[in-house]
Amino acid sequence: MNVFMILRVAMRAIWRNKTRSALTMLGIIFGIAAVIVVLAIGKGASQNMVAQIAKMGDNVVMIFSEQRHAAAGVHGGAGEGQSLTASDGIAIRRELAHIVKAESPEVRTQMQIVFQDKNWNTTIYGCSTEFLTIRNWRVESGDFFTDQEERQCARVCVLGKTVAANIFPNEDPVGRNIRIGNMPFKVKGLLEAKGVGGMGQDQDDAVLAPYTTVRRVLQASKFPDNVRQLKLSLYSMDGLRRPQGGRRRVPPETPGAHRRRRDVRFRFLPGLPPRPQGPGEPELHAGLPPVQQAGHPAVRTGPDPSDQFQQ
C-alpha cells in the first residue's frame, strides 16, 4: 500500500466520523494550548519575582543591631537595640574591602511633609551617599546630597515619585523648600520611579536625607552615630552561605577608643539557600572571615533561637 492510498483511507475515515474527528482535534488543540499557557505563566511569574528582588538592589546584605532586652523579660524586635553605629559600617567596609562594594547606614522615621497648603505623611530614610548604589536607584532630576552635606548635617532631601506627585502635582520640586515636621528642608532632587516592592509597599513613597541630619535634626538624638541597620552591597554572592544566627564583634573605628561589645546580626535578601555547617567547621557569618585586631579578638557565639529578623 503506497502513501497515496494511506492518505486516501485516512481522509475517508475522518470524513465518515466527522464529530469524533472534530472532538479529537479540539482535545489536542486545547491540551497543547493549556501546556503553553501554564509554562508562560510560570516563566512570567519567575521573571516578575526576579525583577522585584532586583529592585531591592544587587547582592544586598542587611545588618541589624541586637534585640533589646528590657526589664521583666520584655524583648524588643531586631534592630531595636542601640549597639550598631555608623562607625561599625566604616569598619566593615575597611576590613572587607575586597567583597564590599558599597555601604550605607539606615535610619527611618515617619513624618509629615508640608508645602504651602499641601501635606503628605511618608517615611523619611536617613542614609549615606552610597544608598542609591546599593538599591540600584537613580536620580531623575536634580542631584543627590553630597558627602560634605552628610558630614555637615545639611537640611537637604531627595523626594520619591509618590511624594512629589502629592506635594508638587504640577510643579518641579527641585530647589523648592519644604517642611519636614517643623524643620525646613531644601529639595535637591527627584528619584526615578521604582514601583511596588517585594512586600507590596510603594517604594516611591519615601524621602531620602543624610542619616546624620535625620538623627540630629529630626530625631534630636543624643547618640547620632547609632543606626537601625546597615546595608551592604557585595561584588558577588559566590561562595557565601546564609548565616544561621549568632553574633560577631566589629572592632572600634579608633584604636584605643572605648571598646564596648558590638553585637550585630546579618541578614541576606532572599535567594541564597542555607548551607549546613560541617563538623568541626568554624561558624563564619555570611562566609566572611572573622575580624580580629591585636588585643581585640573576634567573638562568636552559637545560634540564638530567639533571633527573629524583621523587615
Q: pLDDT value at position 222? A: 83
- Which amino acid appears at position 68 of this protein? R
pLDDT 10s digits, 58-109: 788 888 876 555 555 555 555 455 578 888 888 888 888 888 888 999 999 9
C-alpha cell at 285: 557569618
Torsion angle (degrees, nearest 10) of CA 251, 255, 256, 261: -10
C-alpha cell at 232: 551592604
- Judge whether residue 306 has pLDDT over 80: no
pLDDT 10s digits, 248-303: 555 555 444 444 444 444 454 444 444 444 444 334 344 444 433 333 333 333 34
pLDDT 10s digits, 202-225: 888 999 999 999 999 998 888 888
DSSP state of 202: B
